[in-house]
Structure 1
Amino acid sequence: MKKVLFATTALIALGSMAAADVRLSGYGRFGLDFNQANDSDYNNGNNPNYNGVSETNITSRLRLQVDMSTETDGGVGFNARFRAQAESRDGSAGGAVFNGARFGVTYGGLIVNVGNIIGAVENAPGLYTTGTRSAGTGIDGMDFMSLPIKGINVDPTSSNFLTPGTTFGWDAYSSTSAGANGVEALYTVGGFTGHVSFSQDNDYGPGVTGEDRLAIMLTYSFGDYYVTGAYQSVDNNPLVYTDVNGRAYDQEDGMYFLAAGADWGQFGAKLAYGSNDVADSWTLEGNMDIGAASNLLAWVNSTDVDGALLDANNESIVGFANAVGQVDGTAFGINYQYDLGGGSTFVAGYAQSAADSNNSQFQAGVYFSF
């Protein structure tokens, strides 16, 4: 990524003079987003899974990132990062917002971050699509249906609104909020990288303890190949489904992810697996370079939801079984990129969600980095 570098001088707390770097970088993206729901009832306002999304929308994002770093005379590095971002997706626009900062300390192969941390599961190689501009399909990721960790998002203000798909029920660097406000350590030596992260929410109210997340990720790269695994343990998750045939389902606790991939130059491939209380899910991905400037990537995801959830008559969450059913089945997608030069890329993508939901998306637009 082409970056604009501003050099300045800072007096750090240890009392020695050091050259401090302040770097500005970012990207812009904009394009056309077409959503087609073949099931007409999916766009019925009386359906608890109604998504309210128009068929054709403009999707866009502008991100400005600021990275600051300095180093002591003893070789200890200090750094910080924050972002400003404005975006519009599926007809919903928001003004520019600043996120929470992440602070880091580095020494040799060790990195310790606090604040808006990366997150161990989020940092696992192979979790997202390989080399695409959105880390998913199309311009904005298209709900990241390729990720093999599936579940149900529940609107905390209303038990009647459910969103099936990728829940992102793990700590990750947030571009629009304070983030996890956690702590993490990463260590790299040779082809091995280990990552441990921890976060703790404040209590939600009297007698309601805040959620704790502990995650670990290990990855090893050798030649053209890599293998990786990640696991997350959660205490006090406020969104545990307790009225499903007498069993409690916690899709964030006991979550794990495994992946193996390879890059052979013109061709690449990946096989990934994710599991939680709600579903087991596989993703197979392949990509190839076409000439000197184009890349074509395709993926297929197969998700198997716990049968008890599909059959559940869950009175505490309206439409629960119907919503879970929308991720049970096979989804697939294809992404095309053409390098226009100067940090600009033309991107087009198509994604078809799981068989039970019959919902497809198409996007095309331009991404440019600076």
Structure 2
Amino acid sequence: MKQLLFASTATIATAGIAAAESGINLSGYGRFGIGYLEDRQNTTLTTTTANGTVNQFTADSDEAILISRFRLNIDGFTETDGGVRFEGRVRLQADEDSDTGEANDAGLNGARFSVIYGGLRVDAGNVAGSFDNLDDYFGTEPGLEEFLGQYSGVNYSFLEYESTGSGDNAVFFQYTVGDFAVSASYDQNTIFANNGTGATTDRDRWDVSAAYTFNNITASLVYGETDEGDGVEKESLTVFTLGAEFNDFYGTLFLADDDVADDDENGTAYGFSVAYNLGAATTLQLVYGDGSADNDTRNIGVGAIYDLGAGATLRGAVGEVKDGDDDGRIQADFGVWFNF
């Protein structure tokens, strides 16, 4: 990814001694195109007049809308003479309203802070947990909006990096040695009752993972648990993934066990994803995800990426999204993605 660097302290080598380096990196991507969703839901809008009268009305949503995203990562960093790197990140992002297709304002998210030394990384603030940091959890996600996933049958809410919100104030660590990596995260999220006027509950949420790569295959196991206090059932998620890369082929197998409060969402989630480079700058993608519970979501679809060079691609996908016993809905998109 091409990055723009503003160096506040240049690297200086004098008599074999190098000064510490610090600066700011800017990176990100933009995407825009057309998105289609069969029977896109109508949206209820609320307006307030000058005299305080609140009015609500239903706006018809088109099945085909203009989709877009602009994402800018702002990374500040410094590295000590001893090789310890400190980083901080905020993200500026603007998306369309997925219901109406209208543009939303851009906004900054919560900050993430990192300490990196050798194979150890520690993040604090708006962080991604062990599930969110596992590439093979997501596999290949077809579409300009990456709207299809092998993980669609999962209903557990794990710790995620928030691109458009403050995120959860949590910690994450990862240690890599050779082909083996372990990670863990912890989030003590305070829940306020009655819009902040009632009692509070400390929700303990944590996860751990281990991954091992042998030749071109990576096996990963992740477990996470959430405890919201006395009288509330604990929730948990166990995920096993197997990812493989061979020349122009990338594929993943996904298996998970969901244990959540809603019995209609408990059960096994499973899926797979495949990406294959056909040559001539074209990559084909295939994904399937489902679950054994009554209210699980099923995803199935195909996509394609055409490389235009210089970090720009044409992308699109078509698939079916089905929630529980509801009728499946066709979803598709197509457009341009460019990295910077």
Please state which band the TM-score falls in when normalised by the shorter chain.
Answer: 0.7 to 0.9
**Alpha carbons of structure 1 residues 112 and 44: separation in structure 2 relative to 1, 3 Å:** closer
Distance 2:64 2:310 in 1: 29
**Alignment of 1:129 onto 2:139:** yes
Secondary structure of 1:295's counterpart equals strand
* Aligned-partner SS, 2:130: coil
Counterpart amino acid of residue 228 in structure 2: N
Per the alignment, residue 367 of structure 1 pairs with 337
- SS of 1:254's partner is strand
Shift of 1:43: 5.1
- Would the aligned equivalents of 1:99 and 1:175 in 2 still touch at CA under 8 Å? yes
Q: Cα–Cα, structure 1 residues 203 and 288, in superposed 2: closer, same or farther, change >3 Å?
A: closer
Matched, 1:217 2:221: no
AA matched with 1:129: G
Q: 2-side partners of 1:269 and 1:172: how far apart?
A: 23
| Deviation larger for 210-219 or 22-31 | 210-219
Give, in whole Å, the separation in 2 of the partners of 1:202 and 1:62: 31
Match of 2:146 in 1: 141
Partner of residue 291, structure 1 = 279
- The answer for the alignment partner of 1:351 in structure 2 is 319
Quote the Cα distance in structure 2 between the aligned partners of 1:225 and 1:351.
28
Which structure 2 residue ranges, 5 or more long, are not aligned? 11-17, 44-57, 260-264
Q: 1:43 to 1:186 in 2, by over 3 A?
A: closer
- The residue aligned with 1:316 is none
Match of 2:82 in 1: 74
**What amino acid is aligned across from residue 4 of structure 1 in structure 2?**
L
Match of 2:154 among 150, 154, 165: 150
Show the counterpart of 2:24.
Answer: 22
* Cα distance, 1:148–1:249 mapped onto 2, change above 3 Å: farther
Determine if the alignment matches structure 1 residue 104 to structure 2 residue 92. no
Structure 2 counterpart of 1:275, which letter? D
Q: Following TM superposition, by how much is the alpha carbon of 1:145 offset from its aligned partner in structure 2, in angstroms?
A: 4.1
The structure-2 alpha-carbon separation of the partners of 1:92 and 1:195, relative to structure 1 and needing over 3 Å to count, comes to farther
Is the alpha carbon distance of 1:237 and 1:289 closer, same or farther for their aligned partners in structure 2, counting shifts above 3 Å?
Answer: farther
After superposition, the Cα gap between the structure-2 partners of 1:267 and 1:51, relative to the gap in structure 1 and judged at 3 Å, is farther
- Distance in 1 (CA, whole Å) between partners of 2:229 and 2:165 is 20
Q: Mind listing any 5+ residue stretches in structure 1 that lack a counterpart? A: 11-15, 131-135, 152-166, 243-247, 311-323
CA RMSD of aligned residues (A): 2.7
Higher strand share: 2
Is the 8 Å Cα contact of residues 90 and 111 (structure 2) preserved in structure 1?
yes
Other-structure match for 1:190: 178
1:234 alignment partner in structure 2: 226
Whether the 8 Å contact between 1:82 and 1:98 is mirrored in structure 2 is yes
- The question of whether the paired residues in 2 share the 8 Å contact of 1:57 and 1:89 is answered with no
Q: Equivalents in 2 of 1:249, 1:31: separation in Å?
A: 43
User: 2 CA distance for matches of 1:108 and 1:32?
Assistant: 43
Give the counterpart of 1:85 among 86, 93, 106.
Answer: 93
Q: Separation in 2 of the partners of 1:126 and 1:51? A: 39
Task: Give the AA of the match of 1:282.
Answer: Y
Q: CA deviation at 1:146?
A: 2.8
Cα displacement (A) at 1:8: 1.3
Q: Who is 1:334 aligned against?
A: 302
